[in-house]
Amino acid sequence: MQTVCILGNQLSPELIDESLPNFGVYEDMVAKGEPHLFHSVLSSSLNLGCSRRPDA
């Protein structure tokens, strides 16, 4: 199976600066009224190699 990444293959500087420093604190957190875990939206792209740091 081949993985094809079309859009958004770079992590935004805002995400790196604002969200990733707190990732471990909120990882897999469930918030009332939210359809996603904090972890679930980002991890699949990282695990498939579809996202990378802008300087990578």
Taking the domains of the chain in order of start, what are their residue ranges?
Answer: 13-47
In this prediction, residue 55 has a pLDDT band, given cuts at 50, 70 and 90, of: low
Closest listed residue to residue 24, CA positions, set 44, 38, 40 = 38
pLDDT at 39: 58
- DSSP letter string over 6-37? -S--B--HHIIIIIGGGHHHHTT---TT-SS-
pLDDT at 31: 78
- Spatial separation of the C-alpha atoms in residues 49 and 56, rounded to whole Å: 12
Residue pair 45/10 in contact by the 8 Å Cβ criterion: no
Residue pair 4/47 in contact by the 8 Å Cβ criterion: no
The pLDDT tens digits of the residues spanning 3-53 come to 555 555 566 677 677 767 766 666 667 778 877 666 556 667 777 777 666
